[in-house]
Amino acid sequence: MTRVSACIVAWNGEKQIRGCLESLKGAVDEIIVVHDGPCIDATIRICKEYTNKVFIRPYVGEAEPHRPFTFAKATGEWILWIDQDEQLTPQLRKVIPHLVERDDANAFSFVWPVKYANANLTKGFFSKVQKTVLFRKSAVDNFRGLPNEILHVKGKTIRTNYRMIHNQEGERNTLRVFFRKTLRIVRVHADQMLKKKVVTKIAPWYFIKAFLWFFLYCGYYYIFHATLFTKADRSIALQLALYNFYLYWYIFLAKIGIWKHMPGR
């Protein structure tokens, strides 16, 4: 019986994908891999060494739009959501088979290391981020596959102290990276929301929402979560507010016919 299905969305990740796949040994019963568009390196070949469930889908430029497809292909009762730059620790490999035997929860979240500039955070609010990555397939609640969409699970989610390995390459989560790279993800996000008809109100609403969400996010993180005390927390909180501002700004521009996004890495 298939108990746990690992679901991975990859993109030309030959440097990292083997480490991810190796870390799954003994923890999962099947592996589903989707590649975002044509592969130009050895990622597909490497994945086929570990599973015959490897799919190449049309290029989007982000992982989340492919995740519902991976979930649908999974035959396990439980899904492990993992990316090519993530790995299970030896401790997690041992504990996952025991977690899925529990009947008191539908999901488990693990500590997900966040990198600022060139090092993982060790203090501050964003050093304690948790990611829900192990969950019952039947408990997934209306996941649409939008970029950076938070997974909602019906029933109880247990927060644990188990840590994942997150091998992010290069500089991350600085304002420089936001304007050079993250804005592309925002445009893909806006494009997906428009294509999936998630945004149906008139244009002026998204003009207002862009500014409203910016100030609400600033207040939520700076005041409610006290993210003013470290440089990394201040910067990441501001970027989350900017992300939501630009997301609805691009939607507003699309609604009035000024902007049309063409995805591209």
138-187: pLDDT as tens digits: 999 999 999 999 999 999 999 999 999 999 989 999 999 999 999 999 99
Considering the domain boundaries, does residue 262 fall inside one? no
Q: What is the dihedral of CA 40, 42, 45, 48, to 10 degrees?
A: -100
**Do 203 and 172 touch, CB atoms closer than 8 A?**
no
Domain residues for the domain of 208 are 175-255
pTM of the model: 0.92
End residue of a domain, out of 122, 145, 166: 166
Is residue 111 within 8 Å of 159, Cβ to Cβ? no
114 and 206 share one domain: no
Number of domains in the chain: 2
Q: Which two tokens stand for residue 250?
A: 């691009």
Q: Round to whole Å and give the CA distance between 255 and 152.
A: 28
Pairing between β-strand 78-81 and β-strand 115-116 as defined by DSSP bridges: unpaired
Write the pLDDT tens digit of every residue in 61-111.
999 999 999 999 999 999 999 999 999 999 999 999 999 999 999 999 999
pLDDT of residue 264: 47
Sign, CA dihedral 213-214-220-221, equals positive
